[in-house]
Structure 1
């Protein structure tokens, strides 16, 4: 079986480093210009994104630039400058959504491969052929497509790479073509400023035109989340997807998600890929790990099932569900200190979650704390909380930005959770 590329979101420099440490082969992100995630794009400047490209390449991995917005005429000259600026950083590909922008990129920066965004909603080999003729190297397939249709595209265009989303938020609208937040708040989704209005609770009304009577329809007193799709989760189908032989890259959504989300999804899907390749696929293992992150409930989308076969694809009760674990700390890049994400106190055990293939953390004990192994996991408890400046505290809270000493060095970017 062919090993697919694992592609993770990089909403800022920290998330980029976490994704790569936890198993991603490649990351995608961008600055705010012409990106469909302006909120995360603002976390990168041109300078910091250039540093991100260099960091990624030093690890022997890839980074793709999102230029997948839908520009207006007045923005074309700015777009040309942006393409040239990003091309000078020598990323591994641009992700673009429209034929005109693709053609412009091939003219201005022919040395940079182009990947077609899922926003172009390619569902068949006819459209795929058009973009291939334009010079597109890879197509990020529409979320509504199935493996059989991808196989049909691959049969006719064997050199075209196909990328499929396997995890993350699902849009209420077809391939993300939504105007709800544009109507309600003036924030245009396909220009990068979606307000996630589909996640809000709404109250429904029925009106009798003859009597002008208005009836309120309700599931509960707060209204109903009628447009709130559950999150995509295809971890248990990774082996099937790889065996199909038609998917070249597995993509995780989530540039605006938390650092823990980025790390956990990369780690879970890396485990699933590697286990599948050696015939040791363990679906429950990946399910349990992904259940630790916040989500809207999970379903398996349309890649392995047809849309009419789907049931329970919406969460009608709430826009978010707490995960089964709470993150308390993130170890810094040195491995010697952590920063609190929740209250960390002595005499409590925290599970240590390390990056993919990180060195084994041996049991130990000193005046700062203790590390032990139990039930196949690594655990840590503190005897004292001491900052890098030598100040001792009874506990440390998430609002405290001081680095805190660990009893021993842990793999950089490890998490402490309960």
Structure 2
């Protein structure tokens, strides 16, 4: 959360320990939620808390107290998909309500309904084109609209999927998705047990439900021009490095658009940088046209990784010295890059590594170790540090 704020996010979407769609994430307990809201408001940022899973009857009994707690700590909005949760939120609080993409809003009539019921914002379904979003904006005013601009895509409409529940007893609609759409499948005839036949959608492979990741940097200007109010990056189960880099790039692109400097050269640089975070091959999703075979990755469900996240700048010690917290092993002789919140990245050859505890010069630094780094240029607390993977390839 601190990282995305550092790199330019206006708001962070976070989950508590209850009723959110990221059950495998550590998530925030009540005290951490309170601290998160205080920090965000101190920075002039906002916190949206997810209550977007579909509850059963027993969980509904717990909701009033939890909703009232969220109101007491002054969260800026809660995100819901279920009408019952929406109704309880209206009954027990005055918290502004955001409608989740799970609610599958694909037309102006449903958005208009949520507006009339009292929702402040609707996160539109990911299956809409630019033309359709623009039409919704034209027909429904006085409600905020939000769209996804970067991240993993789900094979099911707005993430409403039963496949994980059926195969593993872990329900995607309860935040426990095991992503069986990313698995490789074979065909077995019932009278020939143990004989597996590969399933081909075409000659390139059998990952028949494995979507590429969404990337909109090349037409972000067109998305802004639809009149939407908020742009969302999917990333709560991602690393700080992923969240920071993607936030930085889209922040720069948005600012560039409004400054009148959005250009093909910049788009090329931004897209190249987005290839430096862990990702699957990219697709434009539904924005430009209906999806086709090019939207699927038939060869592998693995991620492409070009860089290692090796540390974060903690504080300035002296004029050119900074305290670094190491996240992954780095060695003397490696070249590292410091990703500043604004401006170009800085490349540094590690001619020496200084142990912060005793000022000894060491050959390598390990995770959770603190070191001193001499940097001639200005950097800030919160800047991320990376190194190129030795086996990295272009894509």
Query: What TM-score, normalized to structure 1?
Result: 0.84
2:6 corresponds, among 12, 21, 24, to 21
- The residue that corresponds to 2:339 in the other structure is 353
How many Å separate the matches in 2 of 1:85 and 1:317? 47
Structure 1 residue runs of 5 or longer lacking an equivalent are 1-15, 358-375
Task: Say whether residues 1:276 and 2:257 are aligned partners.
Answer: yes
Q: Distance in 2 between matches of 1:57 and 1:303?
A: 33
> Helix, strand or coil for the counterpart of 2:294?
coil
Distance of aligned partners of 1:177 and 1:385 in 2 relative to their CA distance in 1, 3 Å threshold: same
Q: Among 181, 185, 200, which residue is 1:202 paired with?
A: 185
Match of 1:371 in 2: none
Q: 1:70 aligns with which of 25, 29, 54?
A: 54
Look up the match of 2:144. 161
Please state how far the C-alpha of 1:263 moved relative to its aligned partner. 0.2
Match of 2:164 in 1: 181
Provide the aligned C-alpha RMSD in A: 2.2
Unaligned runs of 5+ residues in structure 2 are 389-395
Q: Is the 8 A contact 2:14 2:27 kept in 1?
A: no
| Equivalent in the alignment of 1:298 | 282
1:393 aligns with 2:379: no
**1:215 Cα shift?**
6.0
Instruction: Say whether residues 1:144 and 2:127 are aligned partners.
Output: yes
Q: Is the 8 A contact 1:31 1:38 kept in 2?
A: no
Superimposed CA distance per residue, residues 188-239 of structure 1 (whole angstroms, 9 cap, x where no aligned partner) = 111111112222222234x388x9996612569xx83222111010111111
- Whether 1:39 and 2:8 are equivalent positions in the alignment is no
Choose 113-122 or 142-151, whichever is displaced more: 142-151
Question: Size of the alignment, in residue pairs?
Answer: 374
Of structures 1 and 2, the one with the larger relative CO (CA 8 A, separation 6+) is: 1
Structure 1 residue 410, shift from structure 2 partner? 3.2
State how 1:317-336 maps to structure 2 within 5 Å: 317-332=299-314, 336=322
Q: Is the 8 A contact 1:164 1:249 kept in 2?
A: yes
Select the residue among 30, 45, 50 that pairs with 2:15: 30
State how far apart, in whole Å, the 2-side matches of 1:56 and 1:377 are: 26
3-state secondary structure, aligned to 2:324? strand
Is the Cα contact below 8 Å between 2:311 and 2:326 reproduced in 1? Answer: yes
Change (3 A) 1:405 1:105: same
* 2:66 aligned with 1:90: no
Question: 2:226 aligned with 1:226, yes or no?
Answer: no
The CA distance in 2 between the partners of 1:71 and 1:85, in whole Å, is 18
Change (3 A) 1:203 1:334: farther
CA distance in structure 1 between the partners assigned to 2:176 and 2:315 by the alignment: 32
Distance in 1 between residues matched to 2:138 and 2:149, nearest whole Å:
22
Q: Note closer, same or farther for the CA distance 1:326–1:385 as it changes in structure 2 (3 Å cut).
A: same
Residue 17 of structure 1 and its aligned partner are, at CA, apart by 0.4
| Alignment partner of 1:117 out of 100, 103, 119 | 100
TM-score for both structures, normalised by structure 2? 0.89
Give the Cα separation in 2 of the matches to 1:261 and 1:212.
43
**Native 8 Å contact 1:337 1:403 kept in 2:** yes
Residue 261 of structure 2 aligns to a residue in which SS? coil
CA distance in 2, matches of 1:385, 1:354: 21
Please give the alpha-carbon distance, in whole angstroms, between the structure 1 residues aligned to 2:84 and 2:240: 34
1:344 aligns with 2:330: yes
SS at match of 2:24: helix
Deviations 1:346-391 (A, max 9, x none): 233212111136xxxxxxxxxxxxxxxxxx6422233332222115
Q: Distance in 2 between matches of 1:287 and 1:62?
A: 27
